[in-house]
Amino acid sequence: RKYLVINGPNLNRLGKREPGIYGAQTLEDLKAELVSFSRELLMDLSFEQSNNEGDIIDFIHGAEGEFCGIVLNAGAYTHYSYAIRDAIASVDVPVIEVHLSNVHAREEFRRESVIAPVTIGQISGFGFDSYRLALQVFHNQFKGDTL
Ligand code: DQA
């Protein structure tokens, strides 16, 4: 089964960016870890990253009919992008929202997610494990999916 991992703005800076919050590992490290994890679950993973809102919207639209689910870290767009929220609502693909950091334990503005109501759930605060947990959920709950 095919799943898509989308990373949004500034996540290409992982490893260099605020390592005290986001860790020392890079986006390439994340991909490598998730690929090996997905093999254990017999999943086929694809990855996208963009710093642009419109690209993220296009990735979401393009996932319909192509992927069984999306793991989405929308970065700061999480907190204010109604356009990404509407994109998720416009497709028939389950989305799990993930965050490396615990967005509820940081600045006030990070507590709000405008995309959460159109996702099947949010996983926040576990670093790379947030992504692994999301893939595990898809594996456990969407076994019958055929894409
Ligand atoms: C983040 C949390 C967001 O608030 C922030 O803007 C990010 C990364 C996370 O993974 O912890 O860019 O989504």
**51 belongs to an annotated ligand binding site:** no
30: Cβ below 6 Å to ligand 1?
Answer: no
pLDDT, residue 145, reads 74
Q: At what angle do helices 82-90 and 53-63 cross, to 10 degrees?
A: 10
- Residue 91 is predicted with a pLDDT of 98
Domains of the chain in start order, with CATH, are: 2-141 (3.40.50.9100)
How much distance in Å is there from the Cα of 11 to the middle of ligand 1?
A: 8
Can you tell me the distance from the alpha carbon of 71 to that of 68, in angstroms, rounded to the nearest whole number? 10
Cβ of 25 closer than 6 Å to ligand 1, yes or no, is no
Q: What is the DSSP letter of 14?
A: T
pLDDT for 146 equals 75
Which pLDDT does position 127 carry in this prediction?
96
Distance between Cα 146 and ligand 1 center (Å): 31
Ligand 1 centroid–CA 144 distance in Å is 31
- Local confidence pLDDT in tens for the 147 residues of the chain: 999 999 999 999 999 999 999 999 999 999 999 999 999 999 999 999 999 999 999 999 999 999 999 999 999 999 999 999 999 999 999 999 999 999 999 999 999 999 999 999 999 999 999 999 999 999 999 877 778
Residue 99 known to be catalytic: yes
Establish whether residue 122 lines the binding site of ligand 1, counting it when its CB lies within 6 angstroms of any ligand atom: no
Q: Ligand 1 in contact with 14 (CB < 6 A)? A: no
Tell me what pLDDT residue 143 has: 75
Structure token pair of residue 91: 């497709």
Residues contacting residue 110 through CB under 8 Å, at least 6 positions apart: 78, 79, 103, 104
- Kind and range of the H or E element at 123? strand 121-124
For the chain, give the number of residues: 147
Burial of 14 (0-12, 13-18, 19+ CB in 10 A): buried
